[in-house]
Structure 1
Amino acid sequence: MPLGALRPSPLVEQAAERLREQITAGHWPVGSRLPGETTLAKELGVGRSTVREALRALAGAGLVQPRQGAGVFVTATSPVEDWPTRLRKAAVTDVYEVRMLVEVQAARLAALRRTDADVEAMREALAGRRAASEGDDAGFVDADIRVHAALVAAAHNPVLTDLFAEFAPALRQGLIDLLDLLSLRAGEPRHGEDSHIALVAAVEAGDADEAARLAQAELEATLALLLSPGKGAGTGEEGDG
C-alpha cells in the first residue's frame, strides 16, 4: 500500500498521522520492523529529519519503539492515552478516590510546612469562596477549588501540586453537576464553609493529624454522595469537596 506524498503544511504531524494510519490498519503488525528512514522519507516525499521526528511522536504515543542498531519496531496498534485524557474519561468516583489520597497527605504536609504567605493565601481563598456563594454554582466550584489548591500548594511538594492541577479540570464539571442535582446550596449557599474553615485553621495551627482527619472526613462525605444510588455516582462531585 503506497503511502503517498504529503501536502506542504505541518509535515511532521502529517507524517506521524500517515504512519499511524498504516499501523492501526495492520499494514505493519505488532512486532514488525518499519522500513528505514530513507525508504519512508521517499514514500512520504519528505526529508529524513521529518520522518525521524514523526517516529519520535509515534514512540511517545506507545506505537513504536526504536531498538539500537536494529531499527524501529511496532509495539501497539492503538496509542496510549496521556494522563489528562485518561482522567477526563475516568469515572468521577475513581478520580475522587485518588484525589483523597493526594489531598489528605497534602493537608498533613501543609500543616508541617506552611509559611505565613501560605496561610494568607488560604485565608484569601476562603474569603473568595464566601464571596462566590452569592453567585452561580460554576463560580462557587471554581472558588472552592482555589481553596484546595492553596492548601495543596502549602505542602510545598511540586508533585502533589501537579497532581492536584491535573485532577481539578477532570472534577470541575462533576462538582457543578452534583451541586445542581442535589440542590446542595438551595438552603445553604455557603455549603461546607465550616469544614473548610476548620481545615485551614488546623493547617495554620500546625496540627498535622487534625488537618489530615478533617480533609479525610470532608472528602469521604462527598464520595459517599457520589456513590449514593441515583445521586450522580460516576458523573460528578460535590462543591464543598
Structure 2
Amino acid sequence: MSVIQKKSLAQEVADRLIAGIIAKEYTIGDQLPIEPELMKMYGVGRSSIREAIKILSIQGVLRVQQGVGTFVVSDNVQESLESQINRAEIEEVLEVRSLIEAKIAAKAALHHHEDELKIIKSYLDLRGIMAEKNQALECYEADINFHVSIAEACGNPLLKEIYKIASKQVMRTFENGHNNNTDAFKASHELHTSLYHSIKDRDADRAAHIAQQIIDKLF
C-alpha cells in the first residue's frame, strides 16, 4: 500500500549538510566537526551521522580520512527537491499541488490497474470511517494516502514523486492547522467518493474537474 514515508534521520542530516555547503557555511577543504559535535548539532545518534557522511561520500561531496577527519571535497551539490519543498511556505506547496492535482487524477483514470484501484478505495473508506469517528490524525493520514495512491496510479513516476514529497508538507499542515477536527473531511467525503468513481470509470475529464474542485477548497 502507498503510505507516506518519513525521511530517514541520516538523509535529513545529509540534506542539512548540503544546505550548509550551498550557503558557504562549509567550503572546499573545510573539516567537518567531530562526530560528538555533529550529534549535538543535529540531535541524532552516531549511526545517523555516519550514514549521512557515507551518503555524501558516495556522492563525492565529502571524503573521510581515517584518523584525521571528514573534509568537504566538492561544492558541486544540488539541494534535493524534498529539502526545497520542506523549506517552502505551505502556500507555495499548495500551489504546486494545485497545478498537478487535476493532471494526476486524469492520468490515473486512464492508466490505473485494478490492484491500484483497490488501494485507492481502501484509503477512501478509511478516510470516511476515521472522519465519522473524529479520529483526526488517522483521518488526515488516510486523506493524504488516498491522494498519494491516486498519484501512484497515474503512470508518471516523476509526477508521483513530486506529489508524494509535497504531500508530506500538506500532512504537517493538517496536523498543525485543523485543531483535531474532522468536520471539513466529513463535508468533502462525497466529493472524494465522486473522484474515486470517475477514476474507476476511466472518465479522465470528470476526474480532473473533481480533483481541481477538491484542491481549490484547500485555499
TM normalised by structure 2 equals: 0.64
Which of 47, 56, 61 does residue 60 from structure 2 map onto? 56
1:56 alignment partner, SS class = coil
**Structure-2 separation of matches of 1:55 and 1:212:** 39
Matched residue type, 1:123: K
Per the TM alignment, residue 115 of structure 1 is displaced from its structure 2 partner at its CA by 2.1
Residues 159, 113 of structure 1: alpha-carbon distance in 2 compared, 3 angstrom cutoff: same
**Structure-2 separation of matches of 1:195 and 1:55:** 45
1:215 matched to which residue of 2?
A: 211
**Structure-2 separation of matches of 1:198 and 1:55:** 45
Per the TM alignment, residue 25 of structure 1 is displaced from its structure 2 partner at its CA by 7.1
Which structure has more relative contact order (CA 8 Å, sep 6+)? It is 2
Asked if residue 147 in structure 1 is aligned to residue 149 in structure 2, the reply is no
* Alignment check: 8 A CA contact 1:55 1:64 kept: no
2:121 matched to which residue of 1?
A: 123
Residues 200, 80 of structure 1: alpha-carbon distance in 2 compared, 3 angstrom cutoff: same
**Structure-1 separation of matches of 2:138 and 2:118:** 21
**Structure-1 separation of matches of 2:106 and 2:174:** 24
Note the aligned Cα RMSD (angstroms): 3.5
- 5+ unaligned residues in a row in structure 2: which ranges? 1-13, 32-53, 64-71
- 5+ unaligned residues in a row in structure 1: which ranges? 1-12, 29-33, 35-39, 41-49, 66-73, 224-241
**Structure-1 separation of matches of 2:186 and 2:25:** 51
2:93 matched to which residue of 1?
A: 95
**Structure-1 separation of matches of 2:58 and 2:130:** 47
Matched residue type, 1:195: L
**Structure-2 separation of matches of 1:120 and 1:160:** 21
Which structure is larger by alpha-carbon Rg, 1 or 2? 1
2:179 alignment partner, SS class = helix
Structure-to-structure mapping, 1:33-112, within 5 angstroms: 53=57, 56-57=60-61, 81-112=79-110
**Structure-2 separation of matches of 1:167 and 1:192:** 21
Matched residue type, 1:97: E
1:180 alignment partner, SS class = coil
2:190 matched to which residue of 1?
A: 194
* Alignment check: 8 A CA contact 2:123 2:146 kept: yes
* Alignment check: 8 A CA contact 1:125 1:147 kept: yes
1:44 matched to which residue of 2?
A: none
Identical residues among aligned pairs (%): 20
1:227 matched to which residue of 2?
A: none
Per the TM alignment, residue 184 of structure 1 is displaced from its structure 2 partner at its CA by 5.8
After superposition, the C-alpha distances for 1:46-92 in whole angstroms (9 at most, x for unaligned) are: xxxx9x94992159xxx875xxxxxxxx67xxx75332222122111
Residues 81, 131 of structure 1: alpha-carbon distance in 2 compared, 3 angstrom cutoff: same
**Structure-2 separation of matches of 1:132 and 1:208:** 28
Structure-to-structure mapping, 1:12-23, within 5 angstroms: none
Per the TM alignment, residue 189 of structure 1 is displaced from its structure 2 partner at its CA by 6.1
Matched residue type, 2:145: R
**Structure-2 separation of matches of 1:175 and 1:145:** 10
Per the TM alignment, residue 221 of structure 1 is displaced from its structure 2 partner at its CA by 1.6
2:174 matched to which residue of 1?
A: 175
